[in-house]
Chains A and B, each alone.
Chain A
Amino acid sequence: MPLDKKQSLLWALRTHFNLTGTKYGCGLGYCGACTVLMDDEPVRSCSIYMEDVAGKKITTIEGLANGDKLHPVQQAFVDHDALQCGFCTPGMIMNAVGLLKKNPHPSREQIINGMEDNFCRCGAHTRIVDAIAEAAGKM
């Protein structure tokens, strides 16, 4: 699939690069399933166009682990069973990583505020907060 500057980052990732860990959930930036890091800042890839991505560093869920070694946030999600269907999980993890990059030692309230606009329908919220709090301590 050729790249197109009017294409969304989400669909460029999912079709051109075949990086399908980044999910479509709503297409309007409400749900956060498509969250990736752009220069270490969490962004909604469904609402960013390729022309705005030039020269930026994009990190997706696929680029988080170091070989077989999971990123501390990924490991904490596993350890806390902080997922059910797993569809929102990549977006949750990317948003959490961005949050911790900016604030390595967030309070519980800061974690909740930072994750507020990422939606999980299965109701894994409390475990997600616990996982992020634990990962923060380990990073």
Chain B
Amino acid sequence: MESRDIEKPFTLWRRDFFKVLGGGIYFLFNLGNVDEAQAAETEQRRTLPKDYNAFLRIAEDGTVTCYTGKIEMGQGVFTSLPQMMADELDVELEKVKIVMGDTTLCPYDAGTWGSLTTRQFGPAMLAATAEARAVLLSMGAEYLKTTPDQVAVSNGVISIKNNKKKKVTYGQLAKGQKIEKFLDVKPKPKDYSEYKIMGKSFLHADALEKVTGRALYTGDFRMPGMVWAKILRPPSHFAKLATVDTSGAEQFPGAQVIRDKDFIAVLHADPEKAEQALAKIRADYTFNEMEVDDKNVFDRMLKIPSNARVTASKGNLDSGRKNSGFLFESQFNNHYVAHAPIEPHTALAWMEGDIMMVRASTQSPFGTQEGVARELGVTLEKVRVIPPFLGGGFGGKAVSLQANEAAKLAKLSGKPVMVAWTREEEFFYDSFRPAAVVTIKSGITPSGEITLWDYHEYFAGSRGSETIYECPDQSTISHSSNQVHPFATGAWRAPANNTNTYARESQIDMMAAKAGMDPIEFRLKNLKDQRMIDVLKGLKEFVNWKPAVSPGKRGFGIACGFDAGGYVATMAEVKVNQATGEITVVRVACVQEIGFCVNPQGATIQMEGCITMGMGYALTEEVEFTGGAVKTSNFGTYKLPKFSWLPKIETKILDRLTPPQGGGEPAIITMGGALANAVYDACGARLYTLPMTRERVLEALARK
């Protein structure tokens, strides 16, 4: 056993060490002090560059390389960002290649989440591209010995307006170099009505690689001398290693055991052998469990102390109560759900000179770079992250601890190390969508005007909690605590909003029913937000809605909401088997308004994905746990949506020439509410807890 200081030249002492002791040993290693404050400061300084060269480079042959810190995880920006750049620059789409997430080559980006690529990175990229285009035009004019107003560009070729034979290409001007010319007055990107490539549908540009198996994900990379790491995991998040015997693993042929305090890993050239060797480690733990499980979680949430934050307030709740003809009081519960991407967290790390190179399935390459730098106690310049394609993320790969593990082991062993979490590890270390409770006290007049809205969300998060409906006397309060969850929680596709929209839209439906009003009419009566009204009216027309009071035995449910700048309204149709409690989703129709739509085909696919994925959190997905021991470990008990669930899915995106908004998340937020309301419409049973398992449907039917 040995302890070393990070300051000493690492490669030197490692070589000495192995000369003496050979393989099959372990050592203790202290990674030393990290200047956290300095690291944090560096991170804060990082923003999107102002220099347009950071976003694009034009080669001599006219190929344009688009650089983005975003990653591709199925959401389709691999296709849509080149569309945007080609259109703004006036080059053919085929000429634009994209480089994503490389922390050395690409402009800084905090992470691919929040449906921000098109609505936040997009405008910045378009502005940079517009400047590049204007600079190229002036360079072209100079080359052609005329003035910029005398030239035009088409497909990357600049020519004199009245003499098309006099021309020069972007490639000839840029020659693959950084362009050292900038404009004091930045040109505006084109008007949305002028775009020719944006607004058109394109198939996934990465499809060919993906259907042939050639697309590389992190776990598909191989390097000379690469080893696979399997890491000793505790049985609970509250378990502490008491005693450990690693001798079995040390004696395993070809295995190397690495230890840094409680972090113990087995390295082997064969991943299955690494696993077998790991199984030979004997470990005992002490437990200091949190008293919570999937049965008592909601009661506990309402009892424990929390910080209350008012996020919206208007009028006076007492007068609201007095002005109400009918009062309603509900508690809605939502269980923990997992991200469960089919690709588990994976990372490959190796040293190249003094640079730690990292390939990782991560939604945040720059965040991963910061994490690895902190873990190793080095500056950001000493870490380069290059993310390949991701096999799904949904918010779960916002955190990439596996990259820290791989980098640490690569540094300790001096070898390229692959850390590929098993499905069990993926469930254990997932940052689940938080379980949450929402309580609502509301009131209406007999004619169906909302007069009271008193909303509390406990631990869901505030996104989507402010009501979209008009109400003179209202309050929205968010409760938070860092003592509530026994494991990590985090952003799950449209974080917080799935829970908030489910609760709000259920409550709205109850009030509409009591008022004897059709659920769409009730909503329209209480809405003033024109975009929401347009989307809801759009849905009404799209599905040829026939008004009826719920429960109308049709099994039709409505929900609407707002997320990531986009508006969405959904109608679901279900059948409920009242003997078994089984819900069959027959049809889901969804109308969305997300401003100008860059790739309508891609946005439609995102809506379909949201609808399908949304059925999971609404109907079956639930993490089982006792304290910090996550009992859900694989897909045997964690039920993802399957082919046989498929409803008829109909989608519509409203045409707009307003700035593009997020399209990866809005449609998922309405699924809980639309399905719960459809179940109520079908059989009169109100479901107050998601997911709506058969047992819960039967309980709700019995309560009727």
A84 in contact with B342 (CB, 8 Å): no
New A-B pairs, 18, CB < 8 Å, besides A23-B217, A116-B643:
A19-B213, A31-B342, A77-B207, A81-B204, A83-B210, A84-B609, A85-B343, A85-B390, A86-B389, A86-B391, A87-B392, A89-B211, A90-B211, A116-B644, A121-B341, A123-B610, A125-B643, A129-B643
Using Cβ atoms and an 8 Å threshold, which residues of chain B touch A62?
A: 212-214
Q: How far is the CB of B100 from chain A (nearest CB, A)?
A: 14
Using Cβ atoms and an 8 Å threshold, which residues of chain A touch B613?
A: 121-123
Contact of B640 among A7, A61, A90, A121 (CB under 8 A): A121
Interface readout for A113-129 with B: 1 if CB under 8 Å, 0 if not?
10111111111111111
Could you write out 12 A-B pairs with CB less than 8 Å apart? A11-B272, A25-B344, A25-B423, A74-B212, A83-B207, A85-B342, A86-B215, A119-B640, A121-B640, A122-B392, A124-B608, A125-B646
Q: How far is the CB of A127 from chain B (nearest CB, A)?
A: 7
Number of A-B residue pairs at CB separation under 8 A: 175
B340 in contact with A85 (CB, 8 Å): no
Is A78 in contact with chain B by the CB < 8 A criterion? yes
Contact of B272 among A8, A20, A61, A74 (CB under 8 A): A8
A123 in contact with B612 (CB, 8 Å): yes
Query: Could you list which residues of chain A lie within 8 angstroms of chain B, going by C-beta atoms?
Result: 1, 4, 7-8, 11, 14-15, 18-28, 30-31, 33, 60-62, 64-65, 70, 74-75, 77-79, 81, 83-90, 93, 112-113, 115-129
Residue ID in chain A nearest B394 by CB atoms: A121
A11 in contact with B391 (CB, 8 Å): no
We find that the number of chain B residues with CB closer than 8 angstroms to chain A is: 57
Using Cβ atoms and an 8 Å threshold, which residues of chain B touch A28?
A: 423, 634-636
A78 in contact with B211 (CB, 8 Å): yes
Given known contacts A11-B271, A27-B422, A122-B609, A85 and B389 CB-to-CB distance under 8 angstroms: yes
Q: How far is the CB of A19 from chain B (nearest CB, A)?
A: 8
A1 in contact with B269 (CB, 8 Å): yes
Segment of B68-76, B169-177, B182-190 in the binding face: B68-76
Q: Which B residues, 371 to 391, have Cβ-Cβ distances below 8 Å to chain A?
A: 389-391
Using Cβ atoms and an 8 Å threshold, which residues of chain A touch B610?
A: 123
Given known contacts A24-B420, A129-B643, A18 and B391 CB-to-CB distance under 8 angstroms: no
Given known contacts A15-B271, A60-B213, A121-B640, A88 and B342 CB-to-CB distance under 8 angstroms: yes
The distance in angstroms between the C-alpha atoms of A78 and B215, with both chains bound, is 14
Using Cβ atoms and an 8 Å threshold, which residues of chain B touch A75?
A: 211
Using Cβ atoms and an 8 Å threshold, which residues of chain B touch A74?
A: 211-212
Q: How far is the CB of B120 from chain A (nearest CB, A)?
A: 21
Given known contacts A1-B269, A85-B389, A78 and B213 CB-to-CB distance under 8 angstroms: no
A81 in contact with B207 (CB, 8 Å): yes
B340 in contact with A30 (CB, 8 Å): no
Query: Could you list which residues of chain B lie within 8 angstroms of chain A, going by C-beta atoms?
Result: 73-76, 203-204, 206-217, 219-220, 222, 269-272, 340-344, 389-394, 420, 422-423, 601, 605, 608-613, 634-636, 640-644, 646, 649
Residue ID in chain B nearest A83 by CB atoms: B210
Using Cβ atoms and an 8 Å threshold, which residues of chain A touch B73?
A: 85
Using Cβ atoms and an 8 Å threshold, which residues of chain A touch B211?
A: 61, 70, 74-75, 77-78, 83, 86, 89-90, 93
A87 in contact with B341 (CB, 8 Å): yes
A30 in contact with B609 (CB, 8 Å): no
From A8, A123, A124, residue with most partner B Cβ within 10 Å: A123
Using Cβ atoms and an 8 Å threshold, which residues of chain B touch A27?
A: 422-423, 634
B635 in contact with A15 (CB, 8 Å): no
B219 in contact with A20 (CB, 8 Å): yes
The distance in angstroms between the C-alpha atoms of A65 and B208, with both chains bound, is 11
Using Cβ atoms and an 8 Å threshold, which residues of chain A touch B212?
A: 21, 61-62, 64-65, 70, 74
Residue ID in chain B nearest A128 by CB atoms: B643
3 tightest A-B CB contacts, nearest first: A21-B213, A87-B391, A123-B612
Using Cβ atoms and an 8 Å threshold, which residues of chain A touch B269?
A: 1
Q: How far is the CB of A23 from chain B (nearest CB, A)?
A: 7
Using Cβ atoms and an 8 Å threshold, which residues of chain A touch B343?
A: 23, 25, 85, 87
A26 in contact with B423 (CB, 8 Å): yes
B641 in contact with A123 (CB, 8 Å): yes
B203 in contact with A78 (CB, 8 Å): yes
Q: How far is the CB of B360 from chain A (nearest CB, A)?
A: 15
A18 in contact with B634 (CB, 8 Å): no
The distance in angstroms between the C-alpha atoms of A84 and B120, with both chains bound, is 22
The distance in angstroms between the C-alpha atoms of A93 and B210, with both chains bound, is 11
The distance in angstroms between the C-alpha atoms of A78 and B5, with both chains bound, is 53
The distance in angstroms between the C-alpha atoms of A121 and B343, with both chains bound, is 10
The distance in angstroms between the C-alpha atoms of A61 and B392, with both chains bound, is 20
Residue ID in chain A nearest B426 by CB atoms: A26
A84 in contact with B213 (CB, 8 Å): no
Given known contacts A81-B605, A89-B211, A120 and B342 CB-to-CB distance under 8 angstroms: yes
